[in-house]
Amino acid sequence: MMAPGFADAPGGADNPLLQHLGIELAEVAAGRAVFRIDLDRRHLNRQGSLQGGVAATLLDAACGYAGLVGADGQLQGNAVTVMLNVAYLRKVSRGRLRATGTVTRAGRSMYFATGELATESGELIATAQGAFKRNSNASGE
């Protein structure tokens, strides 16, 4: 399911960094967002496993986008990350990963979300918890 308002939906993200990394928006609805990535060399560190920054970016995007769609299914502007904590649980070096963000609590402008990064088989790679501030200004300022 894809909520209206995301310029490149389905299959993309309206964020140049995500696009550059090959991170695709797979699903976004009220309180939930899913991103996916097919790992290749550019996503790996010197040890040949997923770069922590790429994992954090996936989780940040999933958690952040999860709070951008209202209960009515309409886009609620943009958001900035106020805080993001990531726990790295396991190494991965190939395959498709899926980052799922879920809103756990929301107010008028602030919301909190948790995220999970997993392989296609469901093996958990990393988790996150974050706080985000919604902004209806299109520039994000």
The better pLDDT of the pair 7, 39 is held by: 39
Give the pLDDT band (50/70/90) at residue 10: very low
Contact 123, 50 (CB under 8 A): no
Per-residue model confidence (pLDDT) at position 5: 52
Q: Is the pLDDT of residue 134 over 80?
A: yes
Average pLDDT over residues 25-47: 96
Average pLDDT over residues 8-23: 72
DSSP string, 66-91: HTSB-TTS-B--EEEEEEEEEEE---
Nearest one of 77, 60, 61, 75 to 30, comparing CA atoms: 75
Host H or E run for residue 21: helix 16-21
Instruction: Please give the model's pTM, rounded to 2 decimal places.
Output: 0.88
**What is the C-alpha separation between 133 and 64, in angstroms, rounded?**
9
Q: How far apart are CA 62 and CA 69, in angstroms?
A: 12
* pLDDT tens sequence across 87-101: 999 999 999 999 999
Checking if the pLDDT of 80 tops 90, the result is yes
